[in-house]
Amino acid sequence: MATYRSVFDAAELRAQLNDAGINTKFMASIWKYVLQNPGCELDEIPDLPSSAYRLLRTKFKPFTSTVHSVFHSTDGVTTKLLIKLQNGAFVEAVIMTYDTRLGKYGGKPRLGGPRSTLCISSQVGCKMGCKFCATGTMGFKNNLTSGEIVEQLVHASLLTNIRNVVFMGMGEPLNNYTALVEAIRVMTGSPFQLSPKRITVSTVGIIHAINKLYSDLPGLNLAVSLHAPVQEICCQIMPSARAFPLEKLMTALQTYQKNSQQKIFIEYIMLDGMNDEEQHAHRLGKLLETFQVVVNLIPFNPIGSSSQFRTSSDQKVSDFQKILRGTYNIRTTVRKQMGQDISGACGQLVVNLPDKRTRENTSLLTDIEDLRI
């Protein structure tokens, strides 16, 4: 059986068009037509050179993935898509709805209204093995192609208007670097036209990739999973820290910030008794005091009764936040827990089939990706 490539796989489409002597300017119009006509056949796209139709028909498909299931959380603001890939594997993408009016800008209420952020997967499984993360329990299966990454945005866009994209789903994005860069370049070009400022790439700290990220993708947001302020604790909860020591990671982040002149998001998962004491807050504050950062404290989301970690109390999270804000003047937010009942919350993405839920409570939330930084 022939394996087709996604029409959104930019490098493959560009190479095939070039080989056939067809102008690559048609790529954007091909994508636009498929976006507007998701059930179409590629033969239906108007105004292409005649030689393009045979090429598209024999090498490409409008979609190589399908939405297998859609789950709505009872929080009314979270929707999880279970997406089946061409090879039979599954990945998950999560849509989160927020309200820009709940934020403030310059001390004044902001204009706007509800809009959506899409959390995208970059791999099937993950090889990083973080102890608190469900995806890590799957092990690593395979990288997604750039087309499969972009298709998640297309599938989600058919349900709602996507304003922000965060690479915080399954997998370590910087371990699939070439496909990641290519997918983001498609997302920021025609017809998607997402601003790089609306795209956030989250990493456990793949140093060699961080070192080239700014030159390849200037302007996007970088988020770093820095879940402990000392190397010893990092290694206990994130095995990858042995390969990417904290000291070397901080040096790479200093260089990245010097080049990008942008604030860096720091993600810090709160694990009871492990990394959530006042001493940890002070050590984290000292580690970050020379940086321009926004720290996002993430309450641990359980991944089953066998989990070795417990969620920090609200009081501990609040105390931790006060130390970073008050003593070190570091902007610190607490991530709102969303989508736990459909296993769509941070750290819970692992392919399974939760019970279908109905939408009830429809309160809207502010979004860290919408912070003015």
Omega before 114 within 30 of 0, i.e. cis: no
Catalytic residue chosen out of the listed positions 119, 133, 234, 346: 346
Report the distance separating Cα 40 and Cα 44, nearest Å.
7
> Which backbone phi and psi does 202 adopt, to 5 degrees?
-105, 135
Residues 325 and 332: beta-carbon distance below 8 Å: yes
Beta strands at 264-270 and 162-167: parallel, antiparallel or unpaired: unpaired
Task: Judge whether 357 and 72 are in contact, CB under 8 Å.
Answer: yes
Concerning whether 133 is annotated as a catalytic residue, the answer is no
Amino acid identity at 77: V
Could you give the CA distance from residue 170 to residue 177 in angstroms, rounded to a whole number? 14
User: Can you tell me the distance from the alpha carbon of 65 to that of 83, in angstroms, rounded to the nearest whole number?
Assistant: 7
Q: At what angle do helices 207-216 and 246-260 cross, to 10 degrees?
A: 10
* CA neighbor of 204 nearest in space, from 127, 300, 297: 127
Give the active site residue among 92, 172, 182, 369.
92
Cα angle at 356 between 351 and 361, to 5 degrees?
Answer: 115
311 φ/ψ angles, rounded to the nearest 5 degrees: -75, 135
Whether 182 sits among the annotated catalytic residues: the reply is: no
Cα dihedral 313, 314, 316, 322 in deg (nearest 10): 170
Residue position matching structure tokens 């899409």: 118
Q: Rounded distance, CA 291 to CA 312, Å?
A: 26
* CA–CA gap between residue 263 and residue 135 (Å, rounded): 27
Q: Which residues are catalytic, by number?
A: 92, 346
